């Protein structure tokens, strides 16, 4: 992720420094960046001169002191709160200027918690890119409790200069995308665990009927099951073990077996063998029912993000389209599906399972009673 952010910055004309404390890791990252740039040049995306200018703007270093002249530093270290706090404490006390903006690319940790390592936490903010950072248009901006308005304004302005689309989210677990998208994975796994359909059948149904570009199991294998599981577990823990975000044994066992997805050769699918179509075709009724279950929980989670003032309605829909490639914004999609229909179907699921993952967001219930939509 750090390499992708660095390349995105250098491509847009910013003098960029890429840091890692491990020389081998740093050189691998730099080699990968140069390889990607060469491929783009061969495809005619850059002229020789533009290629050389991008490379000239990109510097690598194993010393944080190289950031002394930077006006913005974005951290993309592993999701470990103590490591992140240590980095920023060192940066603030020993290296960067007083007006340098400090930012974290964390996907699941609290911005306010990380910022607590800084004496001047009003210049700290979350700037969360999506992978691959050079291609994905969305960036979530997350102010902490102490972040001042000027820091937020400058962060959004910089993201616009980078050619990205920004959405602003409250500092809560998962922000917008990693919170709202959890049911896409968790409910699909639950459907599999109940023996209703296979991985491939669920993926096929959600692509064919739901019009998602990738099925949940394909996507988890692409992201990495270790990464996806860690985010799920972190969000669940930070929500004080709310059943809506509970991780699954199925994915935990995948991680324990080192079936991490494409990067390990095996995940929910075996990438060392030729992929085959599902051996049995689901009935239309079963396929529609499983797609409905996933959609209903996605609609409910998006509504809850509105209810809890996580972000604006427009930003939530933008985030789910630009950050996850969903076919529609979930709130607009909810209007089309029918708010009362969502509430009634979720109530049926709750009556069957008596599991709080199916509890209806109060906002949806109020809207159903007053016959309101998210958008007129």
Q: Which of 178, 188, 228, 248 is catalytic?
A: 178
What gap in Å lies between CA 356 and CA 241, rounded to an integer?
11
- Both 166 and 239 in a single domain? no
pLDDT for 198-239, tens place per residue?
A: 999 999 999 999 999 999 999 999 999 999 999 999 999 999
Domain total for the chain? 2
Do residues 256 and 178 touch, judged by C-beta distance below 8 A? no
Active-site residue flag, 107: yes
DSSP letter (8 states) at residue 283? P
Do residues 57 and 13 touch, judged by C-beta distance below 8 A? yes
Active-site residue flag, 300: no
- Both 182 and 108 in a single domain? no
- Both 236 and 307 in a single domain? yes
Which domain-ending residue is among 134, 152, 175? 175
Active-site residue flag, 140: yes
3-state secondary structure of 186: helix
pLDDT for 52-61, tens place per residue?
A: 999 999 999 9
Do residues 88 and 114 touch, judged by C-beta distance below 8 A? yes
| Alpha helices for 136-224 (secondary structure H) | 149-161, 177-180, 182-193, 199-208, 216-223
- Both 123 and 271 in a single domain? no
Instruction: State the pTM of this model.
Output: 0.94
Which domain-ending residue is among 157, 175, 193? 175
Do residues 333 and 305 touch, judged by C-beta distance below 8 A? no
pLDDT for 162-178, tens place per residue?
A: 999 999 999 999 999 99
- Both 163 and 211 in a single domain? no
- Both 92 and 184 in a single domain? no
- Both 91 and 184 in a single domain? no
CATH number of the domain within which 198 lies: 1.10.1040.50
Q: What's the per-residue H, E or C state across 71-108?
A: CEEEECCCCCHHHHHHHHHHHHHHCCCCCCEEEECCCC
- Both 187 and 168 in a single domain? no
Quote the domain boundaries for residue 241: 176-376
- Both 197 and 337 in a single domain? yes
User: Tens of pLDDT along the chain (376 residues)?
Assistant: 999 999 999 999 999 999 999 999 999 999 999 998 999 899 998 899 999 999 999 999 999 999 999 999 999 999 899 999 999 999 999 999 999 999 999 998 999 999 999 999 999 999 999 989 999 999 999 999 999 999 999 999 999 999 999 999 999 999 999 999 999 999 999 999 999 999 999 999 999 999 999 999 999 999 999 999 999 999 999 999 999 999 999 999 999 999 999 999 999 999 998 766 656 789 999 999 999 999 999 999 999 999 999 999 999 999 999 999 999 999 999 999 999 999 999 999 999 999 999 999 999 999 999 999 999 8
Q: Which of 128, 166, 186, 204 is catalytic?
A: 128
Which domain-ending residue is among 175, 202, 223? 175
């Amino acid at each position: 992720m750090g390499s992708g952010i660095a390349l995105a910055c250098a491509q847009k004309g910013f003098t960029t420094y890429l840091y890692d404390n491990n020389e081998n890791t740093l050189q691998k990252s730099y080699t990968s960046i140069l390889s990607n740039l060469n491929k783009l040049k061969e495809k005619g995306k850059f002229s020789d001169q533009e290629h050389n200018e991008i490379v000239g703007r990109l510097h690598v270093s194993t010393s944080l002191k190289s950031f002394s002249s930077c006006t913005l530093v974005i951290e993309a270290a592993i999701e470990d709160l103590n490591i992140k706090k240590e980095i920023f404490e060192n940066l603030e006390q020993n290296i960067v200027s007083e007006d340098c903006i400090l930012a974290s690319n964390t996907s699941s940790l609290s911005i306010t918690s990380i910022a607590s390592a800084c004496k001047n936490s009003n210049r700290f903010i979350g700037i969360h890119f999506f992978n691959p950072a050079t291609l994905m248009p969305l960036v979530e901006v997350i102010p902490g409790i102490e972040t001042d308005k000027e820091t937020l304004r400058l962060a959004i302005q910089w993201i616009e200069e980078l050619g990205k689309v920004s959405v602003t989210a409250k500092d809560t677990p998962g922000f917008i995308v990693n919170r709202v998208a959890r049911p896409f994975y968790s409910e699909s796994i639950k459907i599999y665990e109940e023996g209703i359909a296979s991985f491939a059948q669920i993926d096929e149904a959600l692509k064919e009927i739901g019009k998602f570009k990738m099925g949940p199991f394909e996507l988890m294998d692409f992201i990495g099951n270790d990464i996806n599981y860690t985010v799920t577990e972190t969000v669940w823990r930070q929500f004080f073990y709310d059943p809506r975000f509970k991780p699954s044994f199925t994915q935990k066992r995948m991680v324990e077996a080192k079936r991490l997805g494409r990067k390990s050769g095996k995940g929910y699918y075996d990438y060392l063998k030729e992929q085959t179509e599902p051996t049995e075709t689901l009935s239309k009724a079963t396929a529609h029912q499983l797609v409905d279950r996933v959609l209903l929980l996605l609609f409910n989670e998006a509504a809850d993000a509105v209810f809890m003032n996580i972000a604006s309605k427009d930003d939530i829909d933008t985030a789910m389209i630009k950050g996850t490639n969903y076919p529609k914004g979930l709130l607009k999609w909810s209007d089309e599906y029918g708010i009362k229909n969502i509430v009634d179907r979720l109530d049926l699921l709750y009556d069957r399972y008596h599991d709080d993952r199916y509890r209806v967001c109060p906002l949806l219930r109020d809207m159903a009673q007053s016959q309101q939509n998210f958008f007129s």
